[in-house]
Each structure stands twice: as C-alpha cells, then as structure tokens.
Amino acid sequence: MRNFLKMALATIVTICAFAARAEQTEYDPAKVSDSLKAIFQFGSTSTKQALNANTVTLITGTIGGTYVQFGADLASVLDDGNKIRVLPIVGRGSVQSVADILFLQGVDLGIVRVDTLDYLERKGFAKDIKKQFTYVTKLYNEEVQVIAPRSIATLKDLEGKKVSVDLPNGSTFVTALTVFERLGIKANFLYIEQRIAMEKLKAGELDAVIVTGGKPYKSVSTFANDGRFHLAGVDYAKPLQGDYLPATLTSKDYPNLIKEGETVDTIAVPAVLAAYNWAPNTDRYRKIALFVDAFFTKFPELQNPPFHPKWKEVSLAAPLAGWNRLPVAQQWLDKHGIEPVTRQRFEAFLKQSPTAANVSDKDKEALFRQFQAWDAEKARAEKK
C-alpha cells in the first residue's frame, strides 16, 4: 500500500511539474515587456523610432531631494508601454536645470524654483529669460529650513556667521542670498554639499546649514540630532512678501529637530514644472503635449499614497505671475472646465471685507500669496 501511495505521489508531482513547465512556455516575454521586445528587435529602425517617439525626459534634482521623488512618481503613474514613457534624470539643482532645459539636447521638461529666473536676470546673467520658458503647472511650495544650534533663534542671529547654502549649481543659494540681502543680514556664505555641510555643522565648523526643499526633505528628516540643534525661524518680513510665502514646520515634519507639539515659522518659494518655449508645430511640442494629457488625466492618482505628500499641495490651474503657461496645458484645463478656484475665492473674500477697498494692488498680491499658502496647507491637512 505504501509503495502504491509513493508511486501515486511521484506521478502527481511529475504531472504538476510538466504542467508548470507547459504553463511557463505559454508566455512570451516579448508580449509582456517592451524592453525585452526592443532587445529581440535590436538594430530595427522601427524599434528605435518607437522608443524615441513618445519618451519624455524630465530633469529633476539632486539625489534625496523632492524633485527626484516627484520625477519617480510621474514615471510610475504615467508610463504606459510605448504610448508614453517618462524618463527622469537626476540633476544638479534649479540653476543647472534652467541651463539644461535651454541647452541640453534631449531634455523636454524640468523642475525649477520660481525665484531662480528672477535671480539670473537681476544679476545680469540673462535677459527676458522667462520668454524662453513656458510652464505646465505650478507644483508645490518649497520651505526654507535652517538647521542651527539652539543659540540661533532666527536669521538675524546669523549676522557675520558661517552659513552653508549648498553648491552653486543648485538654487538654495539663490533663495538664501536673496532673503539675506532683502533683510539686510550679512553672513559668511559657504558653498558646501549638504551632507558634508551637516557633518561640519556637528563638528562646530559651521553656524548653520540652509536647505530649501519640499518638506519633509530627506536630508533634514534624517539629520542625526544629538540635542544641540533645531530649526531656526524665518520671519515673513515685508521685504520678502512680494516673492515668497509664509510657511510652518511642525514636529510631525521633523520630530528630530522640533519638539512635539511645537512649530517653526519660515518662508517658502514655489517650484514649477517648466519647458522650453517650443513652437507648436515641432516634434518636441508634440511630446510635451502627450505628457500634459497623460499627467493631467492621471493627476488625482498622484495625490494619494504611496506618492510624495507634496502632491496634495498641487493645483493644476493655479496661476503663476510673470510666467506664460504652455498653450496645450491651458487648452486642456479650459476643455475640462478647470479654473483657478483659489483666486476666485480670494476675490470673493476681499469683497466681503470692509477694509479691502484700502488695500493697494501690491499688498493685495502679497495677501493673495498668503491666502494661497494657507489654502494649500488646509487642503493638505484635510487629505491626510
């Protein structure tokens, strides 16, 4: 009986193994993977054309930054076989990305910080540079985070101190230099890569490290604090209100640097998804139009886990002063009836306020920027 059972069991195992092998051979990997199909058709002109026709390249930022995570999220959600492929490229920061969008062959889109172009013009490095760019959408607001010893309470305490502002091909230095200049604070700026700068801060060789990026920013949230350091505050002073927004950092954002239940006031600057101002009849414009349709259509998916929480701040229709929106992006928004609701709500709010009539146009814009920041933070909290 035992021998019979053994023989029966062996027969079943053999049949199952044969069936598994037969089942495996039914699948053609070339039908599953476009990458494998490309390898099987190596040297084919049609394959080369197909791979390049609908691949959109996106220059992001440095490893560990929010730009890189946004690029990865876009690729994850939008990639659709040969219909469209998003190829994120690790960049060097906003200043380098501006140059890459303008001059680097094959770069279709890039994430840059709004104050970067203004800085380049103000310092005489470029003229009418915004005319060479269009924007697909305003993304999120990037907070200024100042890691410093507890003896440094605000930026004013950094007068004459050694402050690291990252490398000069990024854009943290652009924001830092602009803010310090407007506030009349003279610090000793050093251009040091963030990871190295944080080690120097711990060793007492620096008085502060400034990081500008969407919270929670990885290098800040992973900063090994031994209790000596915290995040210093940045006051939303009058000289900053034309181009920056008020922002708040909480212990939930950075439990390693902010005590539970406490908050730190700071400022933020918008990031934008930008493209070169290609003519509508070009192939580059066609590819960007393909990206816009896929991105805007699938945008709601990006606002849910596991994607970066900063997607919750993005409003596709939000206007961006001084920038021209990519025509095909505006056409998509108009076709789908998506309007910048925030502006409408703000104007309605002002009409209900008895003091609105006494507010100048300049102050109204500053108030609107504050309203945008408050509205984005409120929407983010509601989606948690």
Average pLDDT, the chain: 83
Cβ count within 10 A of residue 214 = 22
Chain centroid to Cα 57, Å, comes to: 15
Report yes or no: 60 and 111 within 8 Å, Cβ to Cβ. yes
Q: Which two tokens stand for residue 305?
A: 């886990």
Residue 350 zone, left/alpha/beta (φ > 0; ψ -120 to 50; rest): alpha
Q: Is 253 helix (H, G, I), strand (E, B) or coil?
A: coil
pLDDT exceeds cutoff 50 at 21: no
Strands 263-276 vs 109-113: parallel, antiparallel or unpaired: antiparallel
Weakest mean pLDDT among 40-44, 265-269, 337-341: 40-44
User: Using CA of residue 308, residue 313, residue 318, residue 322, what is the dihedral sign?
Assistant: negative
Average pLDDT over residues 59-85: 89
pLDDT exceeds cutoff 80 at 83: yes
**Which of the listed ranges 137-151, 345-359, 366-380 does the model predict with the highest average pLDDT?**
137-151
Average pLDDT over residues 258-276: 93
Average pLDDT over residues 288-306: 95
Weakest mean pLDDT among 30-44, 109-123, 236-250, 290-304: 30-44
Map tokens 């037969």 to a residue. 22
**What pLDDT is attached to residue 8?**
45
- Which CATH architecture fits 45-383? 3-Layer(aba) Sandwich (3.40)
Rounded CA-CA distance 330/364 in Å is 25
- Split at pLDDT 50, 70, 90, the class of 372 is low
Average pLDDT over residues 324-345: 83
Q: How far is CA 264 from CA 163, 209, 260, in A?
A: 19, 16, 12
Give the rounded percent of residues in the chain with a pLDDT score beyond 70: 76
| pLDDT tens-place string over residues 239-261 | 998 788 889 999 999 999 999 99
Q: Hey, which residues does 113 pair with through a beta bridge? A: 271
**What pLDDT is attached to residue 337?**
87
Weakest mean pLDDT among 68-72, 265-269, 365-369: 365-369
Map tokens 């090994």 to a residue. 224
**What pLDDT is attached to residue 197?**
95
Q: Which two tokens stand for residue 19?
A: 């069936």
Report yes or no: 96 and 60 within 8 Å, Cβ to Cβ. no
Torsion from C-alpha of 198, 203, 206, 207, nearest 10 degrees: 100
Q: Which residue has the higher pLDDT, 147 or 21?
A: 147
Residue spans of the domains in the chain: they are 2-32, 45-383
Which contiguous run of DSSP H or E holds residue 284?
helix 283-302
Q: Which two tokens stand for residue 119?
A: 């800085």
| pLDDT tens-place string over residues 45-63 | 776 777 788 899 999 988 7
**What pLDDT is attached to residue 301?**
95
